[in-house]
């Protein structure tokens, strides 16, 4: 025998011929059972794959909404921490305030990366992205409000011009029942 020529005589040494040359009845001769059609199997496979794709896109949409609502929890936590820090200027209140400002800014810079895993042709990400942006802008507004209550925002003209006298602090005191 020549090298490369196997039993079958073809160019492959270990090739096996699977063609059925026997006269015995095979599974191709047995009819399909009642109610079974080979075309329905192919249809079922396509419907199953379509259902899987729909389920995956529904899951992605649900997860995108969950990610979009996550800043709300952060907003509540930051509000509580700011309340606990008080209204006096000290290291803890300044740290909490700048943390409340930095977190929404960094989250707004990475909106595209946050929603990248949920990108799909069937999933509309506009609503979740807008909610995510709105909640982070709310967190930013909370941080700016805390800066204002601490007196760290330059909102008076004397904060910008040194020759002007500082604004008079108006302090109210109350309590008891007025008679």
Report yes or no on 3 lying in a domain: no
Alpha carbon distance 130, 114 (integer Å): 13
Name the H helices within the chain.
38-85, 91-109, 111-114, 126-150
Report yes or no on 8 lying in a domain: no
Report yes or no on 121 lying in a domain: yes
Alpha carbon distance 31, 8 (integer Å): 33
* Res 45: pLDDT: 65
* Res 101: pLDDT: 94
* Res 140: pLDDT: 95
DSSP annotation of 164 reads: S
Report yes or no on 130 lying in a domain: yes
DSSP three-state, residue 28? coil
Q: Would you write out the chain's pLDDT as a tens digit for each of its 179 residues?
A: 455 544 555 566 777 777 666 666 555 677 778 877 666 555 566 777 888 888 898 999 999 999 999 999 989 999 999 999 988 889 999 999 999 999 999 999 999 999 999 888 888 999 999 999 999 999 999 999 999 988 888 888 888 888 888 888 777 667 767 66
Alpha carbon distance 82, 103 (integer Å): 14
Domain region containing 62: 52-155
| Overall domain count for the chain | 1
Report yes or no on 166 lying in a domain: no
Alpha carbon distance 11, 46 (integer Å): 39
Report yes or no on 127 lying in a domain: yes
In Å, the largest CA–CA distance within the chain is: 123
Report yes or no on 169 lying in a domain: no
């Amino acid at each position: 025998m020549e090298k490369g020529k196997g039993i079958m005589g073809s160019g492959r040494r270990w090739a096996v011929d699977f063609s059925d040359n026997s006269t015995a009845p095979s599974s191709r001769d047995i009819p399909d059972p009642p109610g079974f059609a080979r075309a329905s199997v192919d249809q079922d496979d396509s419907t199953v794959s379509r259902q899987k794709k729909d389920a995956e896109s529904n899951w992605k949409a649900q997860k995108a909404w969950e990610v979009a609502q996550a800043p709300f929890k952060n907003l509540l936590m930051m509000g509580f921490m700011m309340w606990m820090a008080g209204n006096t200027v000290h290291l803890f209140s300044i740290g909490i305030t700048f943390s409340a400002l930095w977190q929404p800014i960094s989250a707004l810079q990475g909106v595209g990366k946050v929603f990248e895993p949920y990108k799909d042709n069937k999933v509309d990400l506009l609503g979740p992205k807008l909610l995510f942006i709105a909640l982070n802008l709310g967190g930013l507004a909370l941080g700016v409000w805390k800066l204002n209550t601490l007196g760290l925002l330059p909102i008076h003209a004397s904060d910008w011009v040194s020759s002007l006298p500082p604004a008079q602090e108006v302090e109210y005191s109350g309590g008891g029942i007025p008679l």
